[in-house]
A and B are shown apart, each in its own frame.
Chain A
Amino acid sequence: MSSIGTGYDLSVTTFSPDGRVFQIEYAGKAVDNSGTVVGIKCKDGIVLGVEKLISSKMMLAGSNRRIHSVHRHSGMAVSGLAADGRQIVARAKSEATNYERIYGEPIPVKELADRVASYVHLCTLYWWLRPFGCGIILGGYDRDGPQLYIVEPSGVSYRYFGAAIGKGRQAAKTEIEKLKLSELTCRQGVIEVAKIIYGVHDEAKDKAFELELSWVCEESNRQHQKVPEDLLEAAKAAAQAALEEMDAD
């Protein structure tokens, strides 16, 4: 996948002879080297989970949130450069508010994904702007039910049943494909996501991490919120147990 695009990779407004824009691909590398983010669509909602790598023991637990609510009914999990992610989240929040002001209803998730993707794409068109170095997993619940989208640094956005970006995405995707998503409730989904993230975390290369989980589902009244404390603890415990089981083999 990696090739050196000597000479054609200095600007985002330059194509290479084989039709690639290397700056955008490099932006994707920033995403690929950061903590794993997983999202799944269960039968009654969406679960988002982030492997938040902690760089220092001095950091307060719960700070540097990687999952943000964009509106009552939707949220985004960000991987890659955190500051770039903040910018995109702010833009998404303002798009959501704007839509509601004009049309009087909460922004449909598809529309939100389109707008965020357009915004990210915008920054790949001008030589004085650099592309965003972050990937977004966007989940929401509107009239058409729960929906999950990924927005990549190139500005494409696709809808998924299950998605993973970041370091451990290959392993995570394999795990997600094993799940029967159409039969899982979000309550069960939360436990599964925790297991996946604990599973793909590389103990050797990275030190500590914090698990951030959020959901939008019937149980949360179709509102995007952090998974409740007790369920979070249960998920972490189950994930730990699963890890130990795997190690014991």
Chain B
Amino acid sequence: MEWGAVSSEGKKVSTVLESRSQRTLSPYDGVIMGADMGGSYGSTLRYKSVERIKPIGKQTLLGVSGEISDFQEILHYLDELIIYDHIWDDGNFLGPKELHNYLNRVMYNRRNKSNPLWNSLVYLGMVGMIGTYYEDNHVVTGFGNHLTRPIMRAEWREDLTFEEAVKILEKCLFVLLYRDRSAINKFQIYKITEEGVTISEPYALKTFWGFSAFQNPTKGAEGSW
């Protein structure tokens, strides 16, 4: 359901987070990604069970921010690529680096035709709707760029275990839940290691809204709301 040309916005989602932990001493070696499950239509929170992260092939997780229908289109393209490799059946398959290059080209070419795919894509790196891309140990889209980068920069280490990484992600998602009005309290954490992809059940974080300052908000200014 799109309204118009370039400035149209359909279902949008806000932030996807990802962090990568690497093996030195700990038994864990892989990538985890977390996102909330909300899809808004303008300022209406229309869909509350949107899976914004999808496994692609055997080796990659792809997460998205932005226009959901564009994400579904990208998934169609990728599905064709995956099937093509699968039916060749010669042991070759698409890994994150190949995906990175492919998505980068697709996004950049669309933007050159003034018909962008309105997404920020996250996997082992990030590709934005104007085609900028980079790779990093922790990647974020949307509001997370401003709110959670500092947290991840402070707390990410080379040898995180899975549990520690999840704690960091949850901290970040927490901040976003409190501060980003389009986030909802329903998250999924995706983990990918050599053995494969694990997707957690949707779960909620415990929030606290009982601050005394919230009790009587109009105390200092009668008549305001």
Interface of A toward B, CB cutoff 8 Å:
65, 68-72, 93, 97, 101, 225-226
Q: How many A-B residue pairs have CB under 8 A?
A: 18
Binds A, one of B44-52, B81-89, B214-222: B81-89
Q: Mark B83-109, 1 if CB is under 8 A from A, else 0.
A: 100110100000000000000000000
Q: Note all chain B residues with C-beta closer than 8 A to A71.
A: 83, 87
Interface of A is mostly: strand
Instruction: Name which of B80, B87, B89 has the most chain A CB atoms within 10 A of its CB.
Output: B87
Q: Note all chain B residues with C-beta closer than 8 A to A72.
A: 83, 86-87
Complex Cα distance A95/B38, Å?
37
Question: Number of B interface residues, CB 8 Å?
Answer: 5
Whether the pair B87, A93 counts as a contact (CB closer than 8 A) is: yes
Interface of B is mostly: helix
Q: Note all chain B residues with C-beta closer than 8 A to A101.
A: 80
Chain B residue with the shortest CB-CB distance to A70: B87
Q: Mark B63-81, 1 if CB is under 8 A from A, else 0.
A: 0000000000000000010
Whether the pair B87, A226 counts as a contact (CB closer than 8 A) is: no
Whether the pair A97, B80 counts as a contact (CB closer than 8 A) is: yes
Beyond contacts A97-B83, A226-B89: 7 other A-B pairs, Cβ-Cβ < 8 A, are A65-B89, A68-B89, A69-B89, A72-B83, A72-B86, A72-B87, A97-B80
Q: Note all chain B residues with C-beta closer than 8 A to A70.
A: 87
A-B contact pairs, 16 of them (CB 8 A): A65-B89, A68-B87, A68-B89, A69-B86, A69-B87, A69-B89, A70-B87, A71-B83, A71-B87, A72-B83, A72-B87, A93-B87, A97-B80, A101-B80, A225-B89, A226-B89
Closest 8 CB pairs of A and B: A69-B87, A69-B89, A72-B83, A93-B87, A97-B80, A72-B86, A70-B87, A71-B83
Chain A residue with the shortest CB-CB distance to B82: A72
Chain B residue with the shortest CB-CB distance to A65: B89
Chain A residue with the shortest CB-CB distance to B76: A101
Complex Cα distance A93/B84, Å?
9
Complex Cα distance A62/B83, Å?
21
Q: Note all chain A residues with C-beta closer than 8 A to B80.
A: 97, 101
Complex Cα distance A97/B86, Å?
13
Q: Note all chain A residues with C-beta closer than 8 A to B83.
A: 71-72, 97
Q: Note all chain B residues with C-beta closer than 8 A to A65.
A: 89
Q: Note all chain A residues with C-beta closer than 8 A to B89.
A: 65, 68-69, 225-226
Q: Note all chain B residues with C-beta closer than 8 A to A97.
A: 80, 83
Complex Cα distance A225/B86, Å?
9
